[in-house]
Homo-oligomer: A and B are copies of this chain.
């Protein structure tokens, strides 16, 4: 097909209903009923149609994106933000590839599990079904529009997308491509709607629309998410902070310990899985810290240590209580020397945000105890915390990393966007 979307004459439903989230909500609820029973084939066809349309219309997309970028420059947005806002041939190709990858994943919907036959002969099973209507609230990266739409669609949900105001025109254009892709496959266009307003009141409305929205996935800074959590009536799958720890055990292999600690801190400073505090067993502190401090200093990482750390690494600044609590998301590392595995786990229990922690050890018992007893959403042995990512876990895709305890914990893939209903079949069995 070479049909092109004409952004100027095909107003998206979103843009025309910009002001009233209840209209979007009602449309989403209606679409959800159809999406729930859409075949895996139709959903894959829609995703492939979107990928094709993205590539076909990349020049138009870039032109729309240029308007957002011009406005953002006029508003003196920081270069890093401008970079995230930009749709290039490369980012468009990457979005299209992501769509094809999700299209090829198995359909999670309708599978039965835990099937049992009860003594009275009735069959009990659980069927994986969509959550219903998912709201996504995110910041200025327009590629999230495509990623989030694709994951929610694949898992049989309807979606309402509320992106950053800087990306509004880009998101509306991407939303039109998504809606045309849905229509190509015979699926309801309202299964994905982009909120066509930058009015902040829309967010306040979305998070309280319990009648039409089943769950909200906020993607953004800790401040935004904490504020949404305080006001939301709709359940959130929320991603708060990642104050992640690596503990170098007495029985650590020193080379692995060095490389894992460096990777955990420096793979990317800004990711939630970045190590923020390093705990080192007193028995190996003098053996590992000088070398580690040199490597990290070479990479420009500022060290803040406890007194025992500073006795070994004099150039480290003095760490305060506040340092143990801080998610730096930057080139700073807090270091504390501890006397035992238990002391390390006590520190983690006291200060961790329960995101991701790792132990480096060759001792099986220490590894098992750490993995069993540390109460974080991900607990590693001999791996850097920066592996905290749905793709790395083999989920194929990720809508975010949940710091909730209920429903989905840690990286959230397609299964996290679904729930289970009970299906029972009998032949007239009665109760009592």
Which A positions have Cβ atoms within 8 angstroms of B?
Answer: 33, 36-37, 110, 116, 118, 122, 124, 127, 129, 131-132, 214-215, 235, 237, 253, 255-256, 259-260, 263, 267-268, 349, 367, 371-373, 375-384, 386-387, 392-394, 404-407, 409-411, 419-432
Residue numbers in B under 8 Å from A431 (CB-CB): 263, 267, 384, 386-387, 392
Residue numbers in B under 8 Å from A427 (CB-CB): 256, 382
Q: Is the CB of A430 within 8 A of B381?
A: no
From B37, B116, B405, B423, give the contact of A132 (CB < 8 A).
Answer: B405
| Minimal beta-carbon separation of A304 from chain B (angstroms) | 24
A235-B235, A393-B422 in contact; A406/B259 too (CB < 8 A)?
A: no
A132-B405, A410-B421, A419-B406 in contact; A383/B260 too (CB < 8 A)?
A: no
From B259, B410, B411, B422, give the contact of A430 (CB < 8 A).
Answer: B259
Q: Is the CB of B380 within 8 A of A426?
A: yes
Q: How many copies of this chain sit in the oligomeric assembly?
A: 2
Residue numbers in B under 8 Å from A214 (CB-CB): 405-406
Q: Is the CB of B384 within 8 A of A33?
A: no
| Minimal beta-carbon separation of A244 from chain B (angstroms) | 13
The chain B residue sitting closest to A367, CB to CB, is: B425
A-B pairs with beta carbons under 8 Å apart, 18 shown:
A118-B393, A122-B387, A127-B372, A132-B405, A259-B428, A263-B431, A267-B431, A378-B421, A379-B424, A380-B425, A381-B423, A381-B424, A384-B431, A387-B431, A393-B422, A406-B419, A409-B420, A409-B422
Residue numbers in B under 8 Å from A215 (CB-CB): 405-406
Q: Which 9 A-B pairs rank lowest in CB-CB distance, beginning with the nearest?
A: A256-B428, A383-B426, A407-B407, A378-B422, A406-B407, A263-B430, A381-B425, A410-B422, A380-B424
Query: What separation, in Å, do the CA atoms of A430 and B372 have in the docked complex?
Result: 23
| Minimal beta-carbon separation of A69 from chain B (angstroms) | 28
Q: Is the CB of B421 within 8 A of A409?
A: yes
| Minimal beta-carbon separation of A13 from chain B (angstroms) | 22
Residue numbers in B under 8 Å from A392 (CB-CB): 118, 431
Q: Is the CB of B375 within 8 A of A129?
A: yes
Q: Is the CB of A260 within 8 A of B428?
A: yes
Q: Is the CB of B33 within 8 A of A383?
A: no
| Minimal beta-carbon separation of A236 from chain B (angstroms) | 10
| Minimal beta-carbon separation of A415 from chain B (angstroms) | 9
Residue numbers in B under 8 Å from A377 (CB-CB): 421-422
Q: Is the CB of B405 within 8 A of A131?
A: yes
| Minimal beta-carbon separation of A135 from chain B (angstroms) | 13
Residue numbers in B under 8 Å from A376 (CB-CB): 421
Q: Is the CB of A349 within 8 A of B387?
A: no
Q: Is the CB of A393 within 8 A of B131?
A: no
Residue numbers in B under 8 Å from A394 (CB-CB): 116, 118, 124
A124-B393, A380-B426, A407-B407 in contact; A432/B267 too (CB < 8 A)?
A: yes
Q: Is the CB of A383 within 8 A of B422?
A: no
